[in-house]
Amino acid sequence: MIKNKKSKVFVIVLSIVLVACSSSGVQAECRDLEEVDVLNVVATTPMIGEFVNQVGGNNINLTVLMPPEADPHTYEPAPQDAETIANADLIFYTGLKYEPAPLIKLLENSSCGVEALAEVGDAVYPIEFKESGHDEHGDDGHDDEEEDAHAGHDHGEYDPHFWFDPNRVSYAASFIEGKLVSFDPENKESYEASYNEFASELKGLVNQVIEIIGTIPSQNRKIITTHESLGYLEAKFGLEVLSTIIPSLNSANEISPQDLGEVIEVIEDNKVKVIFIESEAPSVYAETIVSETGIKAVKGLWVETLKQDQTYADFLIEAVTLIAENTQELD
């Protein structure tokens, strides 16, 4: 009996230790980069991991914290994440308040310092959320003054879903290349070559998206989505997201009848024919809207993350194709 009590106490103590490690971090083991053969690199999400892998390739040892199809907004750090972060030479994360606060805290507490943390979203000249009340930034032509204006922006006002514009992904890849070169200058030529190849592919991807969106009649390009995630697709390629069911994933439980009424009013006033329900953020409120308006509901739109073994190009083409196929012919 005493032995069983001791075992229970041990399990409880161990659980407390693991929880503490996952929230407050563990001591980082910062390596001397001059003695490192291969960089240990961490990416928070599969999407960021894809971009890092495209540039880093076999020159880095890459670990992605979140599994495929996990919702980054609700991800809870696992105890082993603290150790993974502590052993990393360089960590790439989306930023712009995209990752949940507990994960950001873990990055700050367990990493080798601010030099090891690389916020990718800040490097893409992000556009503002429409619901923030600020004017949107156009896509074409960021001059130096515009780019400098973003340097000290207040995170949270800016849309982190930059992967819906391949040009922004090119900015991200360039930033990743620069970081990898600064940490591993011996492989500079390899990183530069990989970036150039990826950037070329991204240019071709822009043309593919333009071609697909071009199949949608102009009068059918007004859509509704679950939450505000397609801002870059809208700004770059001419879709018009008139409204969203929820302004952010964190406010899903605070939607009032008035909020729903406003969405329904937008649908009726603009004769919107389709609403896209995101796979990572299905909304029970969509059923009410469909019932009230008769609007067509389309499920299966992935906007946050990659599926198992899915490339970024496949992700984007799949999303755009789903939108096009369900807006080409609307009554």
pLDDT tens across 93-102, in order?
Answer: 999 999 999 9
Q: 3-class DSSP state for residue 208?
A: helix
Confidence class for position 134, pLDDT limits 50, 70, 90: very low
Residue ranges and CATH numbers for the domains of the chain are: 23-207 (3.40.50.1980), 215-325 (3.40.50.1980)
Could you tell me which residue, 290 or 44, shows the higher pLDDT?
Answer: 44
Q: How far is CA 105 from the centre of its chain?
A: 18
Q: How far is CA 254 from the centre of its chain?
A: 23
User: Exposure string (b/e) for 24-49, b if CB count within 10 Å is 16 or more?
Assistant: ebbebeeeeeeeeeebbbbbbbbbbb
Q: 3-class DSSP state for residue 41?
A: strand
pLDDT of residue 166: 98
Q: Round to whole Å and give the CA distance between 223 and 270.
A: 10
Q: Round to whole Å and give the CA distance between 225 and 246.
A: 9
Write out the two tokens for 163.
Answer: 């992967």
According to DSSP, the β-strands at 274-278 and 296-301 are: parallel
The vertex-314 CA angle with 130 and 166, nearest 5°, equals: 45
Region 143-157 average pLDDT? 42
Tell whether the model's pLDDT for residue 152 goes beyond 50.
Answer: no
Q: Round to whole Å and give the CA distance between 215 and 79.
A: 48
Torsion region of 123: left, alpha or beta (phi above 0 gives left; psi -120 to 50 gives alpha): alpha
pLDDT of residue 175: 98
The vertex-320 CA angle with 259 and 283, nearest 5°, equals: 30
Element (H, E) at 119: strand 117-119
Residue 132: Cβ within 10 Å count? 15
Q: 3-class DSSP state for residue 224?
A: strand
Tell whether the model's pLDDT for residue 316 goes beyond 90.
Answer: yes
Tell whether the model's pLDDT for residue 227 goes beyond 50.
Answer: yes
Encode pLDDT of 228-268 as tens digits: 899 999 999 999 999 888 755 454 556 778 888 999 999 99
Q: Round to whole Å and give the CA distance between 293 and 286.
A: 10
Region 205-223 average pLDDT? 95
Confidence class for position 331, pLDDT limits 50, 70, 90: low
Write out the two tokens for 308.
Answer: 């198992």
